[in-house]
Amino acid sequence: MKIKQRPRWFISENDATPETVYHNRRKLLKQLGIAAATVPVASMAQGSLFNLFGDDEPAVDRRAALSPTKQQGDLPLTPEDKILSYNNFYEFGTDKTDPAERAQSFQYNPWQLTVGGLVNTPVTLDYDDLLKRFPLEERIYRLRCVEAWSMNIPWIGFPLASLIKMANPTSKARYVAFETLYDPEQMPGQVSRRLGGGIDYPYVEGLRLDEAMNPLTLLSVGLYGKTLAPQNGAPIRLVVPWKYGFKSIKSIVKITLTDTMPPTTWNLLAPQEYGFYANVNPYVDHPRWSQASERFIGEGSLFSSRRQLTLMFNGYEPEVAAMYKEMDLKRWY
C-alpha cells in the first residue's frame, strides 16, 4: 500500500482552528469554490489597514473573499494589518508606508498575464482566470527580506509549475523571466524612469527553470483569506519562500521562458549587493549589514519584535538544497 506523505508546509485543519469555524468548514469552502483538502480554516484577522501606525482613517478594502485562514502552530502568523501596512513596493514609493497609502486606487481588474517565449503553447490569462482556472490552496510561508526582517504569511495561490506546464516549454527553455506592469500614471514611483534616475522600470526578475518548477514556488492571488491588496502585489505575484523578498515580483503581466539568464532589477542596479540567485544564506552578508539574524514581525510594535537566527534557505533547505549542491553559494549569491 502506497502511503502519501504530506509536504512540510501542509497545515492540519485542526491546528488552532476555532470549533465553530471547523464545523462550518465544508459548507463555507464549497461556497467559495476552494478545495477543502488544501485550505485550512480559522477566524479572519480584524482591524484597520493602518492601525499598525495609529491612523484613525482606514483605507477602503476592495479585496474579495477567497477563504478563511488559520494560525500556524510553531510560529505565529504576522498580523494582517502589518502585512498590509509595511511593504516594499518601490513602484508606489520607497518608504515602507508608501505602498499602502498610494496604491489604494490602483486598478488591477481587468488584467492580462501572458506566458510566452520558448513555449509550444503561449498562454494569456485574464483576471477571472487567475482566480478560477487553477485550484487554489493556502500555504503559510515566511517572507525574508534583505533588510533582515521576516513575516509569516498565509498566502493563497497555485504552483507556478501548473502554469508553466500549461504553456508546454520547449527543450531549449532554461530560465523563466518575469515582468511587472509598467504604468507610471498609476504607479508614481515609476516616474523616475522618465526622469532618468533610479530603477529602470518595469521591474524584472528571473528564476532557473528548475527553481520555477519546484513545488514550493507559488503564484499568489491572495493572503489572509482575501485577494491581494494593491500594496501586496495585486492581482498576482510570485512567492519564492527560500529566496529574499525582492525575488517575489509583484503585479506580474508577463512571463517569458528563455534559454539565457534573464536580467533582474536589483542585480542590474547593484550587482555587488544583489545576486541573481538571492537564496537566503546567513553566511553571506549584505555589504552594509549582517544577514545572520532577522527581526520577526509579529505581535507588538515593529521595534519590539524579537530577533531570531536566520535559517539557511529560509528554513526550506530539505526541499531546495539539492538544486544548488554543485554551486559555490558565496560566489553565486
Q: Classify strands 293-296 and 149-159 as parallel, antiparallel or unpaired.
A: parallel
Q: 68: domain CATH number?
A: 3.90.420.10
Q: What is the pLDDT of residue 298?
A: 86
10 part of a folded domain: no
Phi-psi region of 161 (alpha: psi -120 to 50; beta: other; left: phi over 0): alpha
Burial of 177 (0-12, 13-18, 19+ CB in 10 A): buried
Helical segments of 50-190, H only: 80-85, 98-102, 127-132, 160-167
pLDDT of residue 67: 62
State the pLDDT at residue 66.
Answer: 73
Size (the chain), residues = 333
- Could you give the number of structural domains in the chain? 1
What pLDDT, in 10s, does the model give residues 120-172? 999 999 999 999 999 999 999 999 999 899 999 999 999 999 999 999 999 99
Return the pLDDT at 60: 60
Query: Is 294 a domain residue?
Result: yes
Do 27 and 2 touch, CB atoms closer than 8 A? Answer: no
pLDDT for res 322: 97
pTM passes above 0.85: no
Domain range spanning residue 69?
Answer: 22-324
Q: What is the pLDDT along the chain (333 residues), one digit of tens a residue?
A: 444 455 655 544 333 333 333 334 344 334 444 443 333 322 223 233 333 333 344 456 778 877 665 544 456 899 999 999 999 999 999 999 999 999 999 999 999 999 999 999 999 999 999 999 999 999 999 999 998 999 999 999 999 999 999 999 999 999 999 999 999 999 999 987 766 567 899 999 999 999 999 999 999 999 999 999 999 999 999 999 999 999 999 999 999 999 999 999 999 999 999 999 999 999 998 888 899 999 999 877 666 677 899 999 999 999 999 999 999 999 999
Kindly state whether residue 11 falls inside one of the protein's structural domains.
no
Residue 232 pLDDT: 97
The reply to whether 329 falls in a domain is no
Is residue 184 in a domain?
A: yes
In a domain, 8, yes or no: no
What sign does the CA torsion over 263, 180, 58, 300 have? negative
| Cell reading at 253 | 503581466
In a domain, 331, yes or no: no
13 inside domain: no
